[in-house]
Amino acid sequence: KNEVEQSPQNLTAQEGEFITINCSYSVGISALHWLQQHPGGGIVSLFMLSSGKKKHGRLIATINIQEKHSSLHITASHPRDSAVYICAVRSGGGADGLTFGKGTHLIIQP
Amino acid sequence: DAEITQSPRHKITETGRQVTLACHQTWNHNNMFWYRQDLGHGLRLIHYSYGVQDTNKGEVSDGYSVSRSNTEDLPLTLESAASSQTSVYFCASRMDRDTEAFFGQGTRLTVV
Asked if A81 has any chain B CB less than 8 Å from its own CB, the reply is no
Higher pLDDT, A93 or A2: A2
The rounded distance, in Å, linking the Cα atoms of B24 and B3 is 8
Task: For Cα atoms B58, A105, B41, give the angle at the middle one, nearest 5 degrees.
Answer: 25
* Residue B102 DSSP one-character state: E
Quote the pLDDT of residue B42: 84
Higher pLDDT, B1 or A52: A52
Quote the pLDDT of residue A98: 82
B28/chain A closest Cα distance in angstroms: 18
- Nearest CB partner across the interface for A30, out of B31, B98, B103: B98
Per-residue pLDDT reduced to its tens digit, B75-87: 999 999 999 999 9
Residue numbers in A near B48 (CB within 8 A) = 96-97
User: Does the pLDDT of residue A42 top 90, yes or no?
Assistant: no
- Nearest CB partner across the interface for A97, out of B48, B102, B105: B48
Mean pLDDT of chain B: 94
Quote the pLDDT of residue B96: 81
CB A85 within 8 A of CB A74: no
- Nearest CB partner across the interface for B102, out of A45, A100, A101: A45
Instruction: Please tell me whether the peptide bond between A8 and the residue prior to it is cis, using omega within 30 degrees of 0.
Output: yes
Quote the pLDDT of residue B77: 98
Quote the pLDDT of residue B41: 86
How many CB atoms within 10 Å of residue A102?
Answer: 17
The rounded distance, in Å, linking the Cα atoms of B8 and A106 is 28
CB B93 within 8 A of CB B29: yes
* A86: nearest CA partner in chain B: B42
Lowest mean pLDDT segment, chosen from A44-48, A61-65, B40-44: B40-44
State whether B90 and A43 contact (CB < 8 Å).
yes
